[in-house]
Amino acid sequence: MPFRSAELQLVLVIVALLPRSRIAEMIARVHQGESVRGVAESLGIPLSVAYYHARNYCRQQSRMQIEKLGEKERGYLVGMVVGDGCLVRHKARGEYLAQIALDKHRDLDVFQFVRSTFENAGKKVNVRIERGMFILRIWSKPFYDFFLKHVRLERGVSSHYTKLLLDTERWSRDFTIGFIGGLIDSDGHIEGNRSTGHYGATITTSSLSLIGQFHDLCAAQRIKISRRVSHHAAINERARYVVHIWSKSLNSVCSELLCVKHQRLHGGPGRN
Residue 200, pLDDT > 80, answer: yes
Note the pLDDT of residue 53: 80
Residue 217, pLDDT > 90, answer: yes
Residue 95, pLDDT > 90, answer: no
Q: Where are the domains of the chain?
A: 2-58, 66-266
Q: What is the pLDDT of residues 146-199, one digit of tens each?
A: 999 999 988 765 556 788 999 999 999 999 999 999 999 999 988 876 665 667
Residues sharing a CB contact under 8 Å with residue 15, sequence separation 6 or more, in sequence order: 49, 52, 53
Q: What is the pLDDT of residues 26-47, one digit of tens each?
A: 888 877 767 777 788 888 888 7
Highest mean pLDDT among 70-74, 160-164, 194-198, 246-250: 70-74
Residue 143, pLDDT > 80, answer: yes
Q: How confident is the model at residue 5 (pLDDT cuts 50, 70, 90)?
A: very low
CA-wise closest residue to 168 among 65, 264, 78: 78
Mean pLDDT of 55-74: 80
Q: Which fold has domain 66-266?
A: Endonuclease I-creI (3.10.28)
Highest mean pLDDT among 32-41, 55-64, 166-175, 230-239: 166-175
Give the residue with greater pLDDT, 68 vs 154.
68
Least confident among 14-28, 126-140, 197-211, 248-262: 14-28
Q: What is the pTM of this model?
A: 0.76
Angle at 98 between CA 92 and CA 101, to 5 degrees: 135
Residue 233, pLDDT > 60, answer: no
Residue 270, pLDDT > 50, answer: no
Residue 113, pLDDT > 70, answer: yes
Least confident among 19-23, 58-62, 215-219, 238-242: 58-62
Note the pLDDT of residue 232: 62
Note the pLDDT of residue 9: 42
